[in-house]
Amino acid sequence: MVEVLEAGDRPTLARFGGIEAMLEASTDLAASPMMPEFLRLALDCLKEADGDAAARFAEFICRCLELAKDDFAWTEAVDLIDRARPLPTSVEERCFSRCLVLSGDRSVAPVTRATALDGALRWAVENRKRQLRLCLALLDIAADDDPGFLGRAAKIMGVAYSHWGESELISRLRALADVDGASDEVAFELGMAKLLDGLSAADRRAATASFEAASYWFNRAADAREQRPDARAYARCLDVLMAFSRGEGVDSLDQLASSLSRDAFEIHAWHTRSDIPPWLGARHAEAVSWELLALSLRALARHLDAPSWWEPAVVVERYLLAAYAAGRSILRGGRSSGVAALVCPRIEGTLVQSEWQAHLLKTWLARNAVSEWREEAECLAAKIDVLVEEGGRVRPPQAATAKPTVAALLDQAAIPADAKTVAKAVIADAQSVHIINMGGAEAAILQECAAAAWNLADYRENKNGRMLFNAVLAWTVRFVASRLDLTKRDVSGLSYLFERDDGSLPHESELQSDYHSLMLSNVLGTEIEVSNIGGGRADLRFVFGSERLVVEVKRESYDCSFDGLERFYAAQTTDYQNVSVRLGFLLVLDQTEVRTGGTPHISTLFRPTMVVRKDEAEPRYVVIFRLPGRRLIPSDLTKRSKKRAGSAGSGRHG
């Protein structure tokens, strides 16, 4: 075979003694690196053969796959057989079975096992029995398997879920979410699964929850590995979609779109090969569609905010109606209700507010009776008429996010009229002093934690829950900042933060008492040690209206890394979120070491984190704060430094 190829000749069956001779030598040929060339010859001959000859070629093809020893040859064989389909049923069944067996054989190279799993997916797409067998094999994959194989297997699981909707595959993916070396692929596939759920969601709330969960997993995938432009691109697309649905302006959408453009360039550079499997090519096309949707929404927002349209027909066709029917026009599918639930209300609300935009739409409709967009245009025009009849001029969605002023809140409060004027001035001054004196580091923490919380419906759509969380966040940040500034000479009750002469470690109750004192002074509705919360006793509970929020207080002397704290205490902390908003805090006294190097900066002492529980689509949100204990007063730090320097000097002279 090598001589034939080097001479530039085309291999022929007669050159190798016919199919009988190839069958007799099949064990040696299958084990050879040249096996793909013999396989290619057999596949070409099978197309023209029938009867016994066809059966012999089919047998040789199966043996090539079943007896192959060379990893690269085996991988090429899978592609060759797949491209030659359809093949006799017996051949496809044996090839599929061989792929399943090989994928589960840990003695085989991980890349070969992954290719086998890929082949099994290709041969299972149109056969329900094989689909079920493949799903069983995927569910049997263990977390202690090779990370390289697990990453490829996770991608197969995600694609299988998108095709067949087997929910157990999602449970299996979640079980693999923390495997080093595979976590980025697992998180990405969980993001794709939630993306699918969002597309098929029946209403705005369900769509929002699914798309937010998808964004969480895509961002987690991007954080798990540096080169994940596909994950970042999907996350940015969803950011644009959610920002558009919230009514955010062009500036915000422009910033998101700029980030998306950089990620899109990288993702397209990834997929330049012509031999990628069909399902990966479909994934690439899907990513392109989402990028187009995001960029179209950015452009549409600019037109919706514009005082006039230079080319109304272009705006109506290319942006307005295309976005209104995004499921069909951009995402090229029938599962459009989730996107429509987020996109359509802003379009409808804006056109109801703007009579001239509604007039241009109806004018376009009158002049384009046979347009492909006629059905969408009629639907939109009819919806506008209904909204006008029901409520007159309704506010567009962006108006709903406006914050009430102090004056407006006081007007609603049960305060005597003659006291409201003074109260307004006093509270406004107090707010001004607090904001002006707030450090940049504190403001940055507030911004990061609130931005992360915005991804959850419990924060974004629940006004009382959001206000309660913001109040507890603001004063918890102030508590941590103040405890970093003060010393035990300033306030005797802060001795629990400093190293004791006898080396004993303060109990967490001292932190709890100190924190409770400050919070009780600033957040009305603060309660301590409340029973029957999540089946246990919560350290501090905050109440506002019908919502409640819990801060769990702990001390830790073993591992106070954020990963360790999440691993140790996230389950308990989030268990207090079972019946109210899924928002909470974990405040930990860090007693792991004596602070001989000084006290950490406040920017290193917090982490917002999402916790996804089994069988729950909506993540739970916890902000973790570490308060450094076992500190030394500044003068002791100087003494210790001088003592170390003296010891080092004595050692050198000696």
Q: Single out the residue of 408, 325, 312 nearest to residue 363, CA to CA.
A: 312
Q: How far is CA 250 from CA 316, 348, 352, in A?
A: 18, 18, 20
**445 or 529, higher pLDDT:** 445
Q: Is the pLDDT of residue 534 over 50?
A: no
Question: Mean pLDDT in the chain?
Answer: 79
For residues 547 and 580, the answer to whether their CB atoms sit within 8 Å is yes
Give the Cα separation of 583 and 600 in Å (integer). 26
**20 or 9, higher pLDDT:** 20
In the predicted model, what is the mean pLDDT of residues 589-595? 90
Give the Cα separation of 36 and 65 in Å (integer). 10
- Model pLDDT, residue 262: 64
**134 or 403, higher pLDDT:** 134
Residue 275 confidence class, pLDDT cut points 50, 70, 90: very low
Residues 6+ apart with CB under 8 A from 191: 214, 215, 216, 217, 218, 220, 221, 231, 234, 235
Three-state DSSP at 530 gives strand
Residue 313 confidence class, pLDDT cut points 50, 70, 90: confident
- Which residues partner with 610 through β-bridges? 621
Give the Cα separation of 586 and 508 in Å (integer). 12
Residues 6+ apart with CB under 8 A from 218: 187, 188, 191, 231, 232, 234, 235, 238
The H or E element spanning position 594 is none
Give the Cα separation of 434 and 566 in Å (integer). 31
pLDDT digits (tens, 9 = 90+) for 246-274: 877 777 777 777 666 666 655 555 544 44
For residues 67 and 27, the answer to whether their CB atoms sit within 8 Å is yes
Q: Single out the residue of 493, 499, 486 nearest to residue 512, CA to CA.
A: 493
Q: Is the pLDDT of residue 606 over 70?
A: yes
The H or E element spanning position 556 is strand 547-556
pLDDT digits (tens, 9 = 90+) for 25-67: 888 888 888 888 888 888 888 888 888 888 888 888 888 888 8
Give first-to-last CA distance, the chain, whole Å.
78
Q: Which two tokens stand for residue 421?
A: 């004027």
Residue 419 confidence class, pLDDT cut points 50, 70, 90: low
- State the Cα torsion 374-378-384-389 to the nearest 10°: 160
Give the Cα separation of 516 and 498 in Å (integer). 19
Give the Cα separation of 134 and 448 in Å (integer). 43
What's the one-letter identity of residue 51? G
Give the Cα separation of 333 and 443 in Å (integer). 43
Give the Cα separation of 415 and 486 in Å (integer). 37
- Model pLDDT, residue 308: 64
As a whole number of Å, the CA-based R_g of the chain is 32
For residue 75, give the DSSP letter: H
**What single string gives the DSSP state of each residue in 209-272?**
HHHHHHHHHHHHHHHH-S--HHHHHHHHHHHHHHHHHHT--HHHHHHHHHHHHHHHHHHHHH--
- Which residues partner with 128 through β-bridges? none
